[in-house]
Structure 1
Amino acid sequence: MHPNFDLEPAASAMETVVDGITDEQLTASTPCVDTSVRDLLAHVIGLTEAFRQAATKEAVGRSVPPAVGPETALPDDWRSRIPAQLKALVEAWREPAAWDGETEAGGVCAPAVVMAMIALNETVVHSWDLALATGQQPAADPSHLAVLLEFHRETPAEGTPGLFGPVVPVAATAPDLDRVIGLTGRDPWWTR
């Protein structure tokens, strides 16, 4: 399995959502349990850089598990930093060598192809989280959703401890984005 998809559509969708977030919304809750918009933006800063380093392999042997929560600082320049890091993430995964061999992110080693899928999943799902939390319309590329549905196909009903909560059942006829969201343990019908 070597899908070599381009992360640009997911990065662009997230950039649009981030651009629509107001300072007043930073304290709003998100579909991530006990996580505010501010906390999730801080997590996005960490993950975009971590998965860029996974693509370049510079993270191998020195990555650490991500910190999420109120103790994680949100830099003052988050409005410019997140788009810049998203662009760098896209460019890093456009290098053919990024998809080869093993790499590391968040203290976890895996085949580079799997890391790319995790990077895609994090970008698409957290875009959805942030969009719903801030009253925006989530968007996702259909080809990305196809990759993610395949990626999550064997997710057990109890979820993946430390990554995804228990699967939220969603009809097979539901939109693909709702199905992906349910497989990551989120409620597609979550409201603020």
Structure 2
Amino acid sequence: MDLRELDRRAVAATGAIIDGLTDEQLDAETPCTRWAVRDVVQHMVDNHRTALDTFGDGAPEPGADVRTEWRRTAAAVVDLFADDAVLAASYEVVGRSTNGRTALSLHFGDTLVHGWDIGTAVGLHVRIDDDLAEAMLAGIARWPKTAQVWGPDGFFARQLPVAEGATPTERLLAATGRDAAWTPAGRS
């Protein structure tokens, strides 16, 4: 399947979660250590803005509501990466030259996994479609095993062990340092 279609599906799924957030839920703790829901959404908005500044004509002026800002900048990123020339454009990440396709792959993964983080934080049962989880697993398997990529200051948290027979979602969560059984404090 085309990476752009995978990304659009991740944006739609995560967007549906973000669109349903209440003001109170923005302060909920998440599986992302030290980040509330608002911080995770803002992190994705910041990544959108970086992509728009790097590959496009620049990001729009910031908005006041992080949910609206996420939706607006996510749509702009989807539109941006619809252009084949953007996918071929060069840029540098983790000290190596790469292209817009890699940036789109990172956007896809970030959007997909953080959608789980946000939904789980507010008590939703988030199931990632198997084909999306498998596509992301294949993508992140290509990243070098360095501290710049994996660990507390990397793109991904340290990988967790995963049980044999785990679902694609469980394998993806473990691969990105997330415990599939995580719940907010006080919830069972």
TM bucket, shorter chain:
0.7 to 0.9
AA of the residue aligned to 1:167: Q
Task: Note if 1:79 corresponds to 2:67.
Answer: yes
AA of the residue aligned to 1:183: A
Q: Structure 1 residue 172: deviation in Å?
A: 4.6
AA of the residue aligned to 1:20: G
Distance 1:108 1:122, change over 3 A: farther
Task: Note if 1:165 corresponds to 2:157.
Answer: yes
Distance 1:105 1:38, change over 3 A: farther
Report the equivalent of 1:175.
167
Task: Note if 1:146 corresponds to 2:145.
Answer: no
Q: Structure 1 residue 143: deviation in Å?
A: 3.2
Q: Structure 1 residue 173: deviation in Å?
A: 2.3
Contact 1:13 1:139 in 2 (8 A): no
Structure 2 unaligned residues grouped into runs of 5+? none
Q: Comparing 102-111 with 26-35, which one deviates more in the overlay? A: 102-111
Q: Structure 1, residues 67-123: CA drift from partner, whole Å, max 9, x if none?
A: xxxxxxx95322322112111111111111121141257998532222111111110
AA of the residue aligned to 2:13: A
Q: Secondary structure at the match of 2:11?
A: helix
Question: More helix per residue: 1 or 2?
Answer: 2
Q: Structure 1 residue 26: deviation in Å?
A: 2.0
Q: Structure 1 residue 42: deviation in Å?
A: 1.5
Task: Note if 1:49 corresponds to 2:39.
Answer: no
Report the equivalent of 1:20.
20
Distance 1:42 1:12, change over 3 A: same
Q: Comparing 153-162 with 107-116, which one deviates more in the overlay? A: 153-162
Distance 1:106 1:129, change over 3 A: farther
Q: Secondary structure at the match of 2:28?
A: coil
Q: Secondary structure at the match of 2:4?
A: coil
Aligned length: 176
Distance 1:124 1:54, change over 3 A: farther
Question: Which consecutive segments of 4 or more residues in structure 1 shift more than 4 A?
Answer: 104-109, 154-159
Distance 2:20 2:29 in 1: 16
Q: Structure 1 residue 52: deviation in Å?
A: 3.6
Distance 2:95 2:126 in 1: 30
Task: Note if 1:121 corresponds to 2:109.
Answer: yes
The CA RMSD measured in Å over matched residues stands at 2.9
Contact 2:55 2:89 in 1 (8 A): no
| Identity percentage of aligned residues | 26
Distance 1:146 1:51, change over 3 A: farther
Distance 1:81 1:49 in 2: 10
Report the equivalent of 1:132.
120
Report the equivalent of 1:112.
100
